[in-house]
Structure 1
Amino acid sequence: MKASNAAICTLLVLILMAEAQVSKAVTCSPTQLSSCVSAITSKTPPSKLCCSKIKEQKPCLCQYLKNPNLRKFVNTPNARKVASTCGTPFPKC
């Protein structure tokens, strides 16, 4: 029983370490979302590239929302709709 608890703890540590490495791998750059501009500013559906960039930049969205210069673009109904269409729930910061 103790061996299985140790194995579970080791597995949890490895998962958490992998998650931390993934978070560090993302470079927050709002310009990465430039492929989404047309979808956000008009009623055109987001492209596959836009959706992949939103998913990639998801860990950065709260940071963008805290920036007054970016918030007015990121925190719009259309931006939220694009994120939802791409399957990326808008974060609650």
Structure 2
Amino acid sequence: MSAFDSIMQGLEEARAFSTGQKAGAAVHEISLPEIDVARIRAQTGLSQTEFARSIGVAKGTLLNWEQKRRMPQGPAQVLLALIERKPSLVQDLLSG
């Protein structure tokens, strides 16, 4: 099967799945634990402004995460999980 055929098959399976049809595609669901952004930030010792700047998000976004109006997604979720394990991660990387 060519790369083009493989991609087309995947697109057709995704389209079928999105309309509720069984397309033979394997679906993997991952549940991630809820991230306590306020606790993670507190571990770093940074203010909200400093922390938001250090991870590249707007302070308003950080406030929404901390107040649980929204939850971080994708790369932000991964970065926060890393910082949770090593609170000095961002400072270590940025201080070069």
TM-score by structure 1 length?
0.29
Q: Greater share of helix residues, 1 or 2?
A: 1
Which of these two proteins has the greater Rg computed from alpha carbons?
A: 2
Q: TM-score, normalised by structure 2?
A: 0.28
